Amino acid sequence: MVFDDFPFWLRFAHFINIIFIVLLIRSGIEILSALPKLYWNEHARPGTEWLKFTRKKIPKDRLWISLEEEESFPSWIALPGRKNLGLGRHWHFFSIIFWILNGAAYYVLLFSSNEWQRLVPTDWSIVPQAFNNMLTYATFQTPPDGNPYNAIQQLTYFIVVFFLGPFMIATGAAMSPSITARFPWYSKIFRGRQVARSLHFLGMVFFIIFIIIHLLMVTTEHFPENMGNMFLGKPTSFGIAIGLFVLVILSVIIVNVWATGWSLKRPRQVQNILGSLTDRLKSVLFRKMSSRQKLERSEVSQFFRINGYPPDTDEFRSLSKDNFANYNLEVFGLVKHPLKLSLLELHNIQKQQQVTEHFCIQGWTAIGEWGGVPLRYIMELCKPIPSARFAVFWSYQYTNNQIFYEVLDIEILKDPQTMLAYEMNGESLNIVHGAPLRLRAETQLGYKMVKWIKSIEFIESYENIGMGQGGHREDNMYYGKRAGI
C-alpha cells in the first residue's frame, strides 16, 4: 500500500506529544529528586536500593527525617528544580492529563483511518527484517527505505506507541495510594509501589533513549523528507527543513524556560492555577475511594522512616513526661457535641487494628500495623452538622514557626480504615512516629496523616486557615490539596 501524505491531525498530535513528553520527563526528574533512590522491595530500607543519585548517608548519631534525603536537582534538568517537589507534581499531573488526552485522540483517529497500517506490523517477517536493519545500522550504513518506515523503525514506533506509553500510565497508577488501597490486587501486578516506581523510571529512560535516537535518525537520514512529513505533511527543501527543526527545538526550549521561570518566581500562582484543574480531577476520581487493605503481620517493615521532628514546646514536653496521662483530644467546630477525650477514653472506644502500607509523597513506602479508633466512631460521638465539609487536624508540632495542620474532606473520615492510631506494630505509639495520636488515612499520601494530634476542628471552608491552601505542606511547600495519587 502506498500511503497518502501525513494528515494534519497526526502532525499536530506529534507536536503536542513533543511538548508534553519533555514536561513530563523534567517534572518526573523533580519528583525523583525527593527520594533519589530506587528499590525492588516495598520496605525501601536504606542500603537495599539498586540505584541512587545521592551521596547522602543516614547519620547514626542524631534523629534523622526522610526530608533530609531530598536532593536539589538543577533547573536545567528538573522542572522546576531546587527542591520543589510540590510544584514538580503539579506540572507532572497537569502534563499527564493533556498527554493522555492527546494520546487517546491519536488512537481514535489512527484506527478510524488507514494510518494505523503505518505503525502496526501485520506479518511476523518484520522481526528478522528489523534484526537485519539493526545490523545494517551497526555498520554505519542505511537500510533500504520502507513504506514509509523500514522494519526496525516501524517495530520501534509500534512498541513506543502501543506498549511503552500505556506501560508508563499503568506503572504511574500503581504508585497511587488511593488506587492501591481500593484495589490492592492492582499494585501486586507490579510487586508493589517500589517496583512500579523503578519500572516507571526505566520507562522514562527508554523514552529518553528513543527521543535521542529518533532525533539522530531524523537529522541524518532523509532530513528534508522527514521534517517535511512530520510538520508539513510532505517532503520539503533542505532550507525549510532546517527552519522547521530550529523552530521545533526553540518551541520546546521556550515552553520549558517559561514553565521553569514561572514556577520559581510565582510558585503560589502555579500551585493555584495548575492545581485548580488537577485537584478537581483527583477529587472526582479518588474522593470516595475506600481502603480495602488487608496485609499480613508478617509483611510489616522492620524499618519505617521518620518524617517530621517531634514538637519542641513546653506543653508537649510536659504531656510526654507522664506518658500523656493528662492528654485530652479536643473535638470542636461545626459539631453538635464538642468532645474532650483522654487517652484512656479513646482506648475504651471500640479498637480497630489494621496492617496497611504507608505511601510518602517523597516516594518511599513502609508497612505497619496500626491500632486505634476509627474516625467514624468519633464522628458518631460529636455529630458534625450538615454544613461541616472538612476536618482540620491540628498538631502540637510547629514548623517554620507555624502550627502544623492538615485538612481532610469529611468523606475520607468515613472510610473504614481512617483512624486515630495510638499503637504501632503491637506497641504504644512512640513519639517519633506521632504519639500520643497520629492520623491514618490509608487512601492518602503520608503528608496528610498528621502526627502529634492536639485537636480536630470541623469546618465548612479552610480559606481563612493558614494560607488558605488546605494544609501546612500546601501552604509552605506548594503541595496539592488532594493526596490520593
User: CATH code at 100?
Assistant: 1.20.950.20
Taking alpha carbons only, the member of 366, 351, 362 closest to residue 299 is 366
CA distance linking residue 25 with residue 38, whole number of Å: 17
Residue 482 lies in a domain: no
198 plus 338 within the same structural domain? no
Q: List beta partners, residue 351.
A: none
| Residue 265 in this model has a pLDDT that exceeds 50 | yes
Edge to edge, the sheet with strand 453-459 lists 339-342, 328-333, 453-459, 390-399, 402-409
Tens of pLDDT, residue by residue over 20-71, are 999 999 999 999 999 999 999 999 999 999 999 999 988 888 999 999 999 9
Number of domains in the chain: 2
122 plus 158 within the same structural domain? yes
209 plus 154 within the same structural domain? yes
| Residue 485 in this model has a pLDDT that exceeds 70 | yes
- Specify the DSSP class assigned to residue 76: T
Last residue of a domain, one of 263, 286, 309: 286
- How high is the pLDDT of residue 150? 83
Are 44 and 66 a contacting pair, CB within 8 Å?
no
Tens of pLDDT, residue by residue over 70-120, are 999 999 999 999 999 999 999 999 999 999 999 999 999 999 988 888 888
Residue 52 lies in a domain: no
Tens of pLDDT, residue by residue over 177-204, are 999 999 999 999 999 999 999 999 999 9
User: CATH code at 387?
Assistant: 3.90.420.10
Residue 484 lies in a domain: no
Are 203 and 164 a contacting pair, CB within 8 Å?
yes
Tens of pLDDT, residue by residue over 335-357, are 999 999 999 999 999 899 999 99
75 plus 107 within the same structural domain? yes
- Specify the DSSP class assigned to residue 351: P
171 plus 27 within the same structural domain? yes
Instruction: Write out the residue range of the structural domain in which residue 459 sits.
Output: 297-477
| CB-CB neighbours of 254 under 10 Å | 10
The type of residue at 47 is G
243 plus 360 within the same structural domain? no
Q: Record the pTM.
A: 0.93
154 plus 184 within the same structural domain? yes
- Residues 295-305: what's their mean pLDDT? 95
Last residue of a domain, one of 286, 312, 337: 286
302 plus 337 within the same structural domain? yes
Residue 64 lies in a domain: no
Last residue of a domain, one of 262, 286, 310: 286
Residue 49 lies in a domain: no
- How high is the pLDDT of residue 1? 44
244 plus 302 within the same structural domain? no
Q: ∠ CA 36-444-423 to the nearest 5 degrees?
A: 95
271 plus 307 within the same structural domain? no
CA distance linking residue 175 with residue 418, whole number of Å: 19
**Which residue in the block uniquely carries the three cell numbers 506503572?**
171
| CB-CB neighbours of 199 under 10 Å | 19
Assign 290 a pLDDT band (cuts: 50, 70, 90).
Answer: confident
Tens of pLDDT, residue by residue over 125-137, are 888 888 888 888 8
Residue 50 lies in a domain: no
247 plus 370 within the same structural domain? no
CA distance linking residue 115 with residue 4, whole number of Å: 9
Assign 4 a pLDDT band (cuts: 50, 70, 90).
Answer: low
| CB-CB neighbours of 82 under 10 Å | 15
Residue 110 lies in a domain: yes
Residue 106 lies in a domain: yes
Q: List beta partners, residue 332.
A: 457
393 plus 250 within the same structural domain? no
